[in-house]
Structure 1
Amino acid sequence: MIGVFSDSHGDLAAFDAAYEFLRTQGARRFVFAGARYTDLDEWLLWRRAKSRGGREYSDADFLADVSHWLGSQDALPRTPSRAEAPADVASEDDRRLVMERFLRVPERESLQYRDPSINNKAMDLVGDTLCCVVHDKNDLTRDDLLNAQVFIHGREPEPKVVQIGPRFFLTPGRLVGAAEQTCALLEKVDRDLRFSAFRLDGRVVLEPKLLVVEKKSSKLTLK
Protein backbone atom coordinates (compact mmCIF):
# COMPACT_ATOMS: atom_id res chain seq x y z
CA MET A 1 0.00 0.00 0.00
CA ILE A 2 1.35 3.43 -0.96
CA GLY A 3 0.59 6.68 0.84
CA VAL A 4 0.32 9.70 -1.48
CA PHE A 5 0.39 13.38 -0.54
CA SER A 6 1.43 16.70 -2.04
CA ASP A 7 1.74 20.48 -1.69
CA SER A 8 2.76 20.84 1.93
CA HIS A 9 4.55 24.16 1.18
CA GLY A 10 6.57 24.16 4.38
CA ASP A 11 3.77 23.06 6.73
CA LEU A 12 5.69 20.33 8.55
CA ALA A 13 2.83 19.65 10.94
CA ALA A 14 0.56 18.82 7.99
CA PHE A 15 3.33 16.70 6.42
CA ASP A 16 3.67 14.84 9.72
CA ALA A 17 -0.08 14.36 10.09
CA ALA A 18 -0.33 12.92 6.57
CA TYR A 19 2.55 10.52 7.20
CA GLU A 20 1.13 9.35 10.51
CA PHE A 21 -2.38 8.86 9.15
CA LEU A 22 -1.22 6.95 6.07
CA ARG A 23 1.19 4.86 8.14
CA THR A 24 -1.62 3.79 10.47
CA GLN A 25 -3.71 2.86 7.42
CA GLY A 26 -0.99 0.40 6.41
CA ALA A 27 1.08 2.40 3.93
CA ARG A 28 4.48 0.78 3.39
CA ARG A 29 5.82 3.30 0.91
CA PHE A 30 5.11 6.97 0.30
CA VAL A 31 4.88 9.29 -2.70
CA PHE A 32 5.45 13.00 -2.11
CA ALA A 33 4.53 14.86 -5.28
CA GLY A 34 6.40 18.04 -4.51
CA ALA A 35 5.89 21.60 -3.37
CA ARG A 36 8.19 21.87 -1.42
CA TYR A 37 10.72 19.22 -2.36
CA THR A 38 12.81 19.92 0.76
CA ASP A 39 9.90 19.43 3.14
CA LEU A 40 10.85 15.76 3.49
CA ASP A 41 14.35 16.69 4.70
CA GLU A 42 13.06 19.44 6.99
CA TRP A 43 10.37 17.16 8.40
CA LEU A 44 12.97 14.57 9.35
CA LEU A 45 14.97 17.26 11.17
CA TRP A 46 11.77 18.51 12.80
CA ARG A 47 10.93 15.01 14.02
CA ARG A 48 14.45 14.61 15.36
CA ALA A 49 14.23 17.90 17.28
CA LYS A 50 10.81 16.89 18.59
CA SER A 51 12.22 13.60 19.87
CA ARG A 52 14.81 15.61 21.86
CA GLY A 53 12.12 17.77 23.40
CA GLY A 54 12.97 20.73 21.18
CA ARG A 55 16.49 21.25 22.51
CA GLU A 56 19.33 21.99 20.11
CA TYR A 57 21.61 19.31 18.73
CA SER A 58 24.49 19.10 21.22
CA ASP A 59 27.97 17.59 21.38
CA ALA A 60 26.48 14.82 23.49
CA ASP A 61 23.94 14.08 20.73
CA PHE A 62 26.78 13.98 18.18
CA LEU A 63 28.79 11.53 20.31
CA ALA A 64 25.71 9.39 20.84
CA ASP A 65 25.10 9.26 17.08
CA VAL A 66 28.72 8.34 16.41
CA SER A 67 28.63 5.62 19.08
CA HIS A 68 25.40 4.26 17.64
CA TRP A 69 26.86 4.25 14.14
CA LEU A 70 30.07 2.50 15.24
CA GLY A 71 28.09 -0.08 17.14
CA SER A 72 25.83 -0.73 14.18
CA GLN A 73 28.82 -1.64 12.01
CA ASP A 74 29.42 -4.79 14.05
CA ALA A 75 25.77 -5.67 14.45
CA LEU A 76 23.77 -7.92 12.16
CA PRO A 77 21.98 -5.88 9.45
CA ARG A 78 18.44 -4.94 10.34
CA THR A 79 15.77 -6.49 8.15
CA PRO A 80 12.52 -4.65 8.83
CA SER A 81 9.15 -6.15 8.06
CA ARG A 82 7.84 -5.18 4.64
CA ALA A 83 4.76 -3.86 6.42
CA GLU A 84 6.80 -1.73 8.80
CA ALA A 85 6.86 2.05 8.55
CA PRO A 86 8.57 3.71 11.52
CA ALA A 87 6.38 5.55 13.98
CA ASP A 88 9.41 7.44 15.24
CA VAL A 89 12.36 8.72 13.24
CA ALA A 90 14.62 9.69 16.12
CA SER A 91 17.30 7.09 15.36
CA GLU A 92 19.57 7.19 12.34
CA ASP A 93 18.35 3.73 11.28
CA ASP A 94 14.72 4.85 11.27
CA ARG A 95 15.48 8.09 9.42
CA ARG A 96 17.33 6.17 6.74
CA LEU A 97 14.50 3.65 6.51
CA VAL A 98 11.94 6.45 6.06
CA MET A 99 14.00 8.10 3.31
CA GLU A 100 14.23 4.77 1.48
CA ARG A 101 10.45 4.45 1.57
CA PHE A 102 9.80 7.86 -0.01
CA LEU A 103 9.56 8.67 -3.71
CA ARG A 104 9.50 12.42 -4.31
CA VAL A 105 9.70 14.82 -7.24
CA PRO A 106 10.56 18.54 -7.35
CA GLU A 107 8.30 21.41 -8.30
CA ARG A 108 9.21 23.86 -11.05
CA GLU A 109 9.93 26.70 -8.60
CA SER A 110 12.54 24.72 -6.66
CA LEU A 111 16.30 24.64 -7.12
CA GLN A 112 16.10 20.84 -7.35
CA TYR A 113 13.99 21.14 -10.49
CA ARG A 114 16.99 22.67 -12.27
CA ASP A 115 19.46 20.17 -10.82
CA PRO A 116 20.39 17.68 -13.60
CA SER A 117 21.10 14.99 -11.01
CA ILE A 118 17.46 15.04 -9.78
CA ASN A 119 14.71 13.73 -12.02
CA ASN A 120 11.66 15.96 -12.41
CA LYS A 121 9.55 12.86 -12.87
CA ALA A 122 9.80 9.40 -11.38
CA MET A 123 8.65 6.04 -12.68
CA ASP A 124 7.51 3.30 -10.32
CA LEU A 125 6.07 -0.13 -11.01
CA VAL A 126 3.07 -0.85 -8.78
CA GLY A 127 2.19 -4.46 -9.32
CA ASP A 128 2.05 -4.82 -13.10
CA THR A 129 1.22 -1.15 -13.69
CA LEU A 130 3.81 1.48 -14.60
CA CYS A 131 3.12 4.74 -12.75
CA CYS A 132 4.66 8.14 -13.41
CA VAL A 133 4.94 10.70 -10.58
CA VAL A 134 5.20 14.42 -11.34
CA HIS A 135 4.29 17.58 -9.47
CA ASP A 136 2.69 19.40 -12.40
CA LYS A 137 0.97 17.22 -14.99
CA ASN A 138 1.76 19.88 -17.62
CA ASP A 139 5.38 18.69 -17.43
CA LEU A 140 4.42 15.33 -18.91
CA THR A 141 5.82 14.60 -22.35
CA ARG A 142 4.57 12.46 -25.19
CA ASP A 143 7.03 9.73 -24.18
CA ASP A 144 5.69 9.78 -20.61
CA LEU A 145 2.14 9.40 -21.88
CA LEU A 146 3.14 6.52 -24.13
CA ASN A 147 5.14 4.66 -21.50
CA ALA A 148 3.09 4.90 -18.30
CA GLN A 149 -0.49 3.91 -17.58
CA VAL A 150 -1.13 5.79 -14.34
CA PHE A 151 0.03 9.34 -13.54
CA ILE A 152 0.25 10.65 -9.97
CA HIS A 153 0.54 14.42 -9.63
CA GLY A 154 0.07 17.33 -7.27
CA ARG A 155 -0.99 20.95 -7.71
CA GLU A 156 -4.73 20.28 -7.49
CA PRO A 157 -7.10 21.59 -4.80
CA GLU A 158 -8.93 18.31 -4.25
CA PRO A 159 -8.44 14.58 -4.79
CA LYS A 160 -9.42 13.31 -8.23
CA VAL A 161 -9.31 10.34 -10.55
CA VAL A 162 -9.49 11.44 -14.18
CA GLN A 163 -9.56 8.99 -17.07
CA ILE A 164 -8.35 10.08 -20.50
CA GLY A 165 -8.48 7.19 -22.92
CA PRO A 166 -6.62 4.24 -21.40
CA ARG A 167 -4.70 6.44 -18.93
CA PHE A 168 -5.52 7.57 -15.42
CA PHE A 169 -4.48 10.76 -13.66
CA LEU A 170 -4.56 10.59 -9.86
CA THR A 171 -4.07 13.45 -7.41
CA PRO A 172 -4.29 13.39 -3.60
CA GLY A 173 -5.32 17.03 -3.30
CA ARG A 174 -3.30 19.46 -1.18
CA LEU A 175 -2.02 19.66 2.37
CA VAL A 176 -1.88 23.48 2.16
CA GLY A 177 -3.88 26.02 0.17
CA ALA A 178 -7.17 24.17 -0.29
CA ALA A 179 -10.52 24.00 1.47
CA GLU A 180 -9.56 20.64 2.99
CA GLN A 181 -6.21 19.06 3.80
CA THR A 182 -6.19 15.68 2.06
CA CYS A 183 -3.99 12.71 1.27
CA ALA A 184 -4.55 9.41 -0.52
CA LEU A 185 -3.84 5.69 -0.64
CA LEU A 186 -2.92 3.66 -3.71
CA GLU A 187 -3.39 -0.05 -3.20
CA LYS A 188 -2.68 -3.15 -5.24
CA VAL A 189 -5.78 -5.33 -5.39
CA ASP A 190 -4.95 -8.66 -7.00
CA ARG A 191 -3.47 -7.42 -10.31
CA ASP A 192 -5.30 -4.10 -10.31
CA LEU A 193 -5.06 -0.80 -8.39
CA ARG A 194 -7.40 1.07 -6.06
CA PHE A 195 -7.22 4.77 -5.18
CA SER A 196 -8.96 6.53 -2.29
CA ALA A 197 -8.51 9.86 -0.50
CA PHE A 198 -9.04 11.16 3.02
CA ARG A 199 -8.97 14.27 5.14
CA LEU A 200 -6.26 14.28 7.77
CA ASP A 201 -8.89 13.48 10.40
CA GLY A 202 -9.64 10.24 8.54
CA ARG A 203 -12.92 11.18 6.84
CA VAL A 204 -13.20 9.72 3.36
CA VAL A 205 -13.41 12.40 0.66
CA LEU A 206 -12.94 10.15 -2.36
CA GLU A 207 -14.50 6.70 -2.19
CA PRO A 208 -12.22 3.87 -3.35
CA LYS A 209 -11.96 3.72 -7.13
CA LEU A 210 -10.80 0.47 -8.67
CA LEU A 211 -8.57 0.81 -11.72
CA VAL A 212 -8.89 -2.45 -13.60
CA VAL A 213 -6.11 -3.34 -16.01
CA GLU A 214 -7.46 -5.21 -19.00
CA LYS A 215 -4.49 -7.41 -19.78
CA LYS A 216 -5.51 -8.42 -23.30
CA SER A 217 -5.99 -4.89 -24.57
CA SER A 218 -3.56 -3.21 -22.16
CA LYS A 219 -6.27 -0.69 -21.31
CA LEU A 220 -7.57 0.52 -17.97
CA THR A 221 -11.18 0.84 -16.94
CA LEU A 222 -12.57 2.37 -13.79
CA LYS A 223 -15.14 0.73 -11.57
Structure 2
Amino acid sequence: MTGIRETKKATTRTTLARCTAELAYEHGVEGMTVAAITAAAGVSQRTFHNYFDSREKALLTFIESSMEKLGEKLAELAEGSDPISAVEQLIIGETISGAAGVDSFLALDRLTRALLSTNPADAGEHQLATLRDAVDRILTERLGLTGFEDIVAVHATLHSGFTALIYHEFELRHGRDVDDPITLLRRAFAVVRGGVNQIYTPHGGQVRLSSASTRSSTVDPAIP
Protein backbone atom coordinates (compact mmCIF):
# COMPACT_ATOMS: atom_id res chain seq x y z
CA MET A 1 0.00 0.00 0.00
CA THR A 2 2.82 2.39 0.83
CA GLY A 3 4.31 1.97 -2.62
CA ILE A 4 0.99 2.67 -4.31
CA ARG A 5 0.43 5.73 -2.14
CA GLU A 6 3.88 7.14 -2.91
CA THR A 7 3.41 6.52 -6.62
CA LYS A 8 0.09 8.34 -6.55
CA LYS A 9 1.65 11.28 -4.71
CA ALA A 10 4.49 11.47 -7.21
CA THR A 11 1.99 11.38 -10.08
CA THR A 12 -0.08 14.17 -8.55
CA ARG A 13 3.02 16.31 -8.01
CA THR A 14 4.15 15.75 -11.60
CA THR A 15 0.68 16.56 -12.94
CA LEU A 16 0.47 19.80 -10.96
CA ALA A 17 3.92 20.89 -12.14
CA ARG A 18 3.09 20.08 -15.76
CA CYS A 19 -0.27 21.90 -15.65
CA THR A 20 1.53 24.94 -14.23
CA ALA A 21 4.04 24.85 -17.09
CA GLU A 22 1.34 24.44 -19.73
CA LEU A 23 -0.57 27.46 -18.40
CA ALA A 24 2.60 29.57 -18.25
CA TYR A 25 3.57 28.49 -21.77
CA GLU A 26 0.16 29.14 -23.33
CA HIS A 27 -1.07 32.13 -21.32
CA GLY A 28 1.96 33.63 -19.61
CA VAL A 29 2.39 34.11 -15.88
CA GLU A 30 -0.95 35.95 -15.72
CA GLY A 31 -2.76 32.72 -16.55
CA MET A 32 -0.65 30.68 -14.16
CA THR A 33 -2.93 31.03 -11.15
CA VAL A 34 -3.40 28.38 -8.49
CA ALA A 35 -7.11 28.26 -9.34
CA ALA A 36 -6.35 27.59 -13.02
CA ILE A 37 -3.67 25.04 -12.18
CA THR A 38 -5.91 23.01 -9.89
CA ALA A 39 -8.80 23.18 -12.36
CA ALA A 40 -6.56 21.81 -15.10
CA ALA A 41 -5.22 19.08 -12.82
CA GLY A 42 -8.65 18.20 -11.43
CA VAL A 43 -7.70 18.65 -7.78
CA SER A 44 -8.51 21.14 -5.02
CA GLN A 45 -6.42 24.18 -4.17
CA ARG A 46 -5.78 22.59 -0.78
CA THR A 47 -4.21 19.63 -2.57
CA PHE A 48 -1.98 21.98 -4.54
CA HIS A 49 -0.65 23.56 -1.34
CA ASN A 50 0.05 20.11 0.07
CA TYR A 51 2.66 19.75 -2.67
CA PHE A 52 3.88 23.27 -3.42
CA ASP A 53 4.28 26.47 -1.46
CA SER A 54 3.61 28.59 -4.55
CA ARG A 55 2.92 28.50 -8.27
CA GLU A 56 6.55 29.54 -8.84
CA LYS A 57 7.76 26.45 -7.00
CA ALA A 58 5.53 24.24 -9.16
CA LEU A 59 6.90 25.82 -12.34
CA LEU A 60 10.46 25.55 -11.05
CA THR A 61 9.90 21.83 -10.41
CA PHE A 62 8.83 21.29 -14.02
CA ILE A 63 11.76 23.29 -15.40
CA GLU A 64 14.24 21.35 -13.24
CA SER A 65 12.77 18.08 -14.49
CA SER A 66 13.02 19.27 -18.10
CA MET A 67 16.64 20.29 -17.57
CA GLU A 68 17.49 16.89 -16.14
CA LYS A 69 15.92 15.16 -19.16
CA LEU A 70 17.88 17.51 -21.41
CA GLY A 71 21.03 16.58 -19.53
CA GLU A 72 20.37 12.87 -20.05
CA LYS A 73 19.90 13.35 -23.80
CA LEU A 74 23.03 15.49 -24.06
CA ALA A 75 25.07 12.93 -22.14
CA GLU A 76 23.96 10.16 -24.52
CA LEU A 77 24.80 12.24 -27.60
CA ALA A 78 28.12 13.37 -26.14
CA GLU A 79 29.28 9.75 -25.78
CA GLY A 80 29.95 9.65 -29.51
CA SER A 81 31.06 13.25 -30.02
CA ASP A 82 32.10 16.40 -28.22
CA PRO A 83 29.63 18.33 -25.98
CA ILE A 84 29.19 21.20 -28.44
CA SER A 85 28.26 18.82 -31.25
CA ALA A 86 25.91 17.06 -28.84
CA VAL A 87 24.06 20.33 -28.24
CA GLU A 88 23.78 20.90 -31.98
CA GLN A 89 22.46 17.41 -32.58
CA LEU A 90 19.94 17.70 -29.77
CA ILE A 91 18.48 21.03 -30.92
CA ILE A 92 18.44 20.20 -34.63
CA GLY A 93 17.10 16.72 -34.02
CA GLU A 94 14.29 17.99 -31.82
CA THR A 95 13.40 20.72 -34.31
CA ILE A 96 13.26 18.20 -37.15
CA SER A 97 11.05 15.88 -35.08
CA GLY A 98 8.63 18.76 -34.51
CA ALA A 99 8.71 18.61 -30.71
CA ALA A 100 6.13 21.12 -29.52
CA GLY A 101 4.50 22.51 -26.40
CA VAL A 102 6.12 22.46 -22.98
CA ASP A 103 8.32 19.50 -23.93
CA SER A 104 10.14 21.39 -26.67
CA PHE A 105 13.63 22.85 -26.40
CA LEU A 106 12.29 26.34 -27.06
CA ALA A 107 9.74 26.00 -24.25
CA LEU A 108 12.53 25.61 -21.69
CA ASP A 109 13.76 29.11 -22.48
CA ARG A 110 10.26 30.61 -22.47
CA LEU A 111 9.31 28.94 -19.18
CA THR A 112 12.56 29.97 -17.51
CA ARG A 113 12.01 33.59 -18.50
CA ALA A 114 8.40 33.35 -17.28
CA LEU A 115 9.57 32.02 -13.93
CA LEU A 116 12.17 34.72 -13.43
CA SER A 117 9.70 37.43 -14.45
CA THR A 118 7.49 36.56 -11.46
CA ASN A 119 10.48 37.26 -9.23
CA PRO A 120 8.79 37.45 -5.82
CA ALA A 121 10.99 39.44 -3.46
CA ASP A 122 11.61 36.52 -1.13
CA ALA A 123 12.16 33.84 -3.78
CA GLY A 124 13.82 35.39 -6.84
CA GLU A 125 17.41 34.68 -5.76
CA HIS A 126 16.50 31.18 -4.61
CA GLN A 127 14.87 30.38 -7.96
CA LEU A 128 17.88 31.63 -9.88
CA ALA A 129 20.28 29.70 -7.65
CA THR A 130 18.25 26.51 -8.10
CA LEU A 131 18.29 26.89 -11.89
CA ARG A 132 22.04 27.47 -11.85
CA ASP A 133 22.51 24.34 -9.75
CA ALA A 134 20.48 22.31 -12.26
CA VAL A 135 22.57 23.63 -15.16
CA ASP A 136 25.78 22.93 -13.23
CA ARG A 137 24.71 19.32 -12.73
CA ILE A 138 24.20 18.93 -16.47
CA LEU A 139 27.52 20.53 -17.37
CA THR A 140 29.72 18.91 -14.73
CA GLU A 141 28.11 15.59 -13.82
CA ARG A 142 26.46 14.57 -17.10
CA LEU A 143 28.76 16.18 -19.66
CA GLY A 144 31.89 16.08 -17.52
CA LEU A 145 32.88 19.68 -18.28
CA THR A 146 35.36 21.22 -15.90
CA GLY A 147 37.20 23.80 -17.97
CA PHE A 148 35.89 27.37 -18.15
CA GLU A 149 36.27 27.53 -21.92
CA ASP A 150 34.31 24.31 -22.44
CA ILE A 151 31.45 25.52 -20.26
CA VAL A 152 31.33 28.88 -22.05
CA ALA A 153 31.31 27.11 -25.43
CA VAL A 154 28.38 24.88 -24.47
CA HIS A 155 26.44 27.85 -23.05
CA ALA A 156 27.10 29.80 -26.24
CA THR A 157 25.84 26.92 -28.38
CA LEU A 158 22.70 26.51 -26.29
CA HIS A 159 21.92 30.21 -26.46
CA SER A 160 22.58 30.36 -30.18
CA GLY A 161 19.94 27.65 -30.58
CA PHE A 162 17.45 29.56 -28.44
CA THR A 163 18.18 32.74 -30.40
CA ALA A 164 17.66 31.08 -33.80
CA LEU A 165 14.31 29.56 -32.82
CA ILE A 166 13.07 32.71 -31.10
CA TYR A 167 14.09 34.78 -34.13
CA HIS A 168 12.20 32.42 -36.46
CA GLU A 169 9.08 32.57 -34.29
CA PHE A 170 9.26 36.38 -34.05
CA GLU A 171 9.69 36.92 -37.79
CA LEU A 172 6.83 34.57 -38.65
CA ARG A 173 4.55 36.27 -36.15
CA HIS A 174 5.16 39.58 -37.92
CA GLY A 175 4.55 38.15 -41.38
CA ARG A 176 8.11 38.50 -42.63
CA ASP A 177 10.00 36.12 -44.88
CA VAL A 178 12.53 34.12 -42.89
CA ASP A 179 14.73 31.08 -43.40
CA ASP A 180 13.41 27.78 -42.10
CA PRO A 181 14.40 26.88 -38.49
CA ILE A 182 17.05 24.33 -39.48
CA THR A 183 18.82 26.80 -41.76
CA LEU A 184 18.78 29.43 -39.01
CA LEU A 185 20.13 26.93 -36.48
CA ARG A 186 22.99 25.96 -38.78
CA ARG A 187 23.79 29.62 -39.40
CA ALA A 188 23.76 30.28 -35.65
CA PHE A 189 26.05 27.33 -34.93
CA ALA A 190 28.39 28.47 -37.71
CA VAL A 191 28.76 31.81 -35.94
CA VAL A 192 29.58 30.09 -32.64
CA ARG A 193 32.07 27.68 -34.19
CA GLY A 194 33.66 30.19 -36.55
CA GLY A 195 33.74 33.11 -34.17
CA VAL A 196 32.52 36.62 -34.83
CA ASN A 197 35.87 37.65 -36.32
CA GLN A 198 35.38 35.14 -39.13
CA ILE A 199 31.85 36.36 -39.86
CA TYR A 200 32.74 40.07 -40.17
CA THR A 201 35.55 41.76 -42.08
CA PRO A 202 37.94 44.14 -40.24
CA HIS A 203 36.20 47.09 -41.90
CA GLY A 204 32.79 46.24 -40.54
CA GLY A 205 31.49 44.57 -43.67
CA GLN A 206 29.58 41.35 -43.22
CA VAL A 207 30.84 38.17 -44.83
CA ARG A 208 27.82 36.22 -46.06
CA LEU A 209 28.02 32.56 -45.07
CA SER A 210 27.63 30.00 -47.82
CA SER A 211 25.19 27.12 -47.48
CA ALA A 212 28.14 24.76 -47.09
CA SER A 213 29.67 26.74 -44.23
CA THR A 214 26.40 26.82 -42.31
CA ARG A 215 26.28 23.05 -42.12
CA SER A 216 28.57 21.90 -39.34
CA SER A 217 30.59 18.87 -40.32
CA THR A 218 30.38 17.61 -36.74
CA VAL A 219 26.61 17.27 -36.73
CA ASP A 220 25.33 13.73 -37.08
CA PRO A 221 25.17 13.03 -40.83
CA ALA A 222 21.93 11.11 -40.23
CA ILE A 223 20.27 14.45 -39.54
CA PRO A 224 19.10 15.93 -42.88
- Measured against the shorter chain, the TM-score band is under 0.3
TM-score, length-scaled by structure 1? 0.28
Which of the two has greater helix per residue?
Answer: 2
Instruction: Name the larger-Rg structure.
Output: 2
Which of the two has greater strand per residue?
Answer: 1
TM-score, length-scaled by structure 2? 0.28
